[in-house]
Structure 1
Amino acid sequence: MKNTYRNMSFNILKKPDTSRIIFLIAFRISTFIFLLLICGLDQAKAENCYFTPKDIFKQMRTFTYNGNSVEVPADSGDTEIYKSTFSSYYHQIAVACKTMQRSGIKVNPSISSQPSSGTEFTFINHPNFYWKLKFENYVYFPTINSTDNNFNFNTLDSVFDFSNRFTLSIYKRGGSATDAFTVPAGLLGTWASTDGFKVAEIVLSSPINISTTTCETNNINVDMKNYNLSELQSASNGTKNISFNLNLTKCPNSIKNVKYSLKATTEAINTEQGIVSLNNSSTAKGIALQVKDSEGAPLKLDSYHQFTGSKNGDTFSIPLNASYVKLPNKELKAGTANTEVTFLIQYL
C-alpha cells in the first residue's frame, strides 16, 4: 500500500421407422449392459478396501466445518487465517485393503488444484490462499498423488485413532495485497485411497468470506522551518530535528501491528543514512534532507522497520524526524528546499 505526502518544505508521498426403432432399442440395451459392466468393475475395484470390525461406524464420514467472515490485513505475511476442528463421534477409523493402498486428499477440482506432492491445496480462484487438513497433534494429510506419506491402508487393520479430531486450516501466502475472496460452501475434498475407497468427505456447511482490511492515511506536510546558511555551514550533523508522525487511522481489530518503509521519490543520495535530494522545484543548492527515526538516528530507506509502539484505539502513530544536511564538497546557496518521500505500510 502506498501513500503520498506533499508539502512546500518536506513532503512525504503517500421423429421413426421400424428399423430405426429396433436399432435404438438394441443400442439402449447395449448401452445398459455396458453401464452394468462399468458399475460392476467400479464395485469390484472399491471392494479392494473396506472398513474392518474395529471400525464401529463402518461407513464414510463427513467432516463438516462452519464458514464465517475472515478479515485479512492487506500485505500481511504468510499466516493462518481460518482454523476449525471437527470431532468425530465414532472415534476409531479402521481400514484394510486386499492390496496395500496409499491414501490422501483428492480435491474438488472446481475448488482447488490437485498438487503432485505436499499438503497444500491451493484455491483455483485465488492462488494466494490454500487449505490443509490434519489429525490434531499429527501430521497434515498429503495429496492423493503423493508417494511419500504416512496414511497407508495395509492388508491388515490400518487404525487411525488420534481422538479423531480433524483440523481444517486456511492460509494466506504473504507478500501482496489481497482482493475479496469467498470459499463456497460444499465439498472441499475427499480423504480416499488411490483406488477410490472413500474414508471421509471434507465439507463446508457455509461459505468462508475473506476480505482485506487496511487503515486510513492522510498526506502529511512537514514544515522544515527557515535556516540561515551559516547554520548549515556550522552544523556537522545538519539542522535541528523536526519531528512528525505517520498517522494510520480507522485500523480494524484484525490489524495488530505494522511495519513501515520509506522510499525516495527524488534521488537517494545515501540509502543507508536516509538522505534524499531536493526536488526540481527547489532553488537551494548544496543541501539534502535526512529522515530519521524517533530517536534521531538515520533511518535506512527501502527497508521495512517494525513499529515498536502500541496501537491507540484504532490508530497507529509512528514518530519520525527529519533535518537538512549539507552535502560535502558542494557550494551552499540559499533558496527553497522541498522534497518528497513515499511511505509504504505492511499490516500485521
Structure 2
Amino acid sequence: MDCDTSVTPVACTYSCPSDQFFNSGGALTSTKKVTCNTATAEWSHMSASNPLGVLPSCSDKTDPTSYHLTAKIGLAGSDSCIDGLTAALQTALESSSDEAYNCMDNNQCAISGSAKCSSDSDGKLSLEFVVKQSGGDLKTSAIIDAFNTQLKTDAAAKTFTLTVGGKRRKTRATTLTADGTVVSTAESGCAAGSGTVGTSCIKCPAGEYEKDGVCTACAVNTYSDTVGSTKCIDCADSLKTITTGSDSVSDCLVTCTVKDVANGFRSPTIGYTVSEGTTLTTFCNSNYSLEYETTNKALCKTDTQPTCYKKCVIQSVDERATLQTTTLKAGSMLSYKEELKFTCSNKDKDMFNVQCAGAGNLYDISCPSKRI
C-alpha cells in the first residue's frame, strides 16, 4: 500500500497484484483509496462490520460459462396481457434482419423460461424476459452486448413489434409495439466457485463463497480458507469471528467487545467486536484524563477497560509556594491520583504535597502562616 504522509489525513492507495481484481459496487477494480486519521488511529474503511479495517481480497478473473440479458419492455397495442407472447417474442427475434439478433437463429442464444407479461393500473403493458447466451465466443461479452444495444435501440425507436395470433381461420392477429420504454441488463453466468460482476466472472477469494452466482462474504462465526469455495466452515466450540469474510480457522477467536467510556472515546470504536488481547487506545475529553501515569493503550478485556476521570482543579496558590518542576497557578489541573510536591519560602527544609484523590475535587495550595 502506497501512502502520502504529507497530507492530513494520511492518504493511501491499496492495489491488487497484476491481473487480479475485487468487486467494488458491482464493478471489477484493482485499487482502493483509503485515509488514516492519525489523531484517532482510525482508517476510513473501518466500521462496526469491519472493525479492523480489513481491505478487500484480490482474485483472478475466470471465463464465463454463459451470459444473461434481463429485459423489460413497455408495449402498446393492447390493454391486457394475451397468450402467446413468448412464442411471438421468439419469432420476432429469430426473423429479425438485424445481425445483433443472429445468435437466436444459430442456437447460441435462447429465451430462458417464459416471458412474463404484466399490466399496471393504467392498463400499460410490459414484457419481462431473459435471453441466455450459452454458445459462441464466451471469452468476451461482445455477442450479448450487441444484442442488448440493438434491443434498446429498437425499443426506444418503437420499431420492435410482436405479432400474436392470426394463424387460425377467423382469428385476428394482435400487433404489439414497443412504447419507447426499456430497461435491460447483461450479466455473466459463472462456474461454481466464481461470482458474477457485470459481464465478468471472478474467482471467489478466501473469506467468501459462491452463492447463487455471487461471491458472498462468509457470515460471522464462519470462514473459508480456499479460493473458489461454495460454502463456509463453522468455527469450532464457542469460538467466534470478529466480522464477516474470515479466511482462516485462526480467525475463530475468543472475542472482546469495545465498551463505552464516559467522557471519552476509543479506537477501535466503542461497540466494535475485536479479539481479546487487541490493543485499545482510549482518548479522554477535555478536562478529563486517565488515572495518572496510566497509558492510554490497553489490551481489550471484557471486564477491565480504562476509565476517564474528571481532573482536579487548583483553586488558589499561596504566593510562597513553589513547585519544583513548573509554576503553580490558580486554575491548574491535576490528573486523577496525580501528586504535586511543593516547597514554601517560609519552610525551606520541608516538602509539601497535594494529590488528586477524588475525581473533580477542588484544592487550595497553601503554606503554613508562621515560621517554626
Q: TM-score range by the shorter chain?
A: under 0.3
Please report the TM-score for the alignment, with normalisation by the length of structure 2: 0.19
Of the two structures, which has the highest relative contact order with CA contacts closer than 8 Å and spacing of 6 or more?
Answer: 1
Please report the TM-score for the alignment, with normalisation by the length of structure 1: 0.20
Q: Bigger radius of gyration, 1 or 2?
A: 2
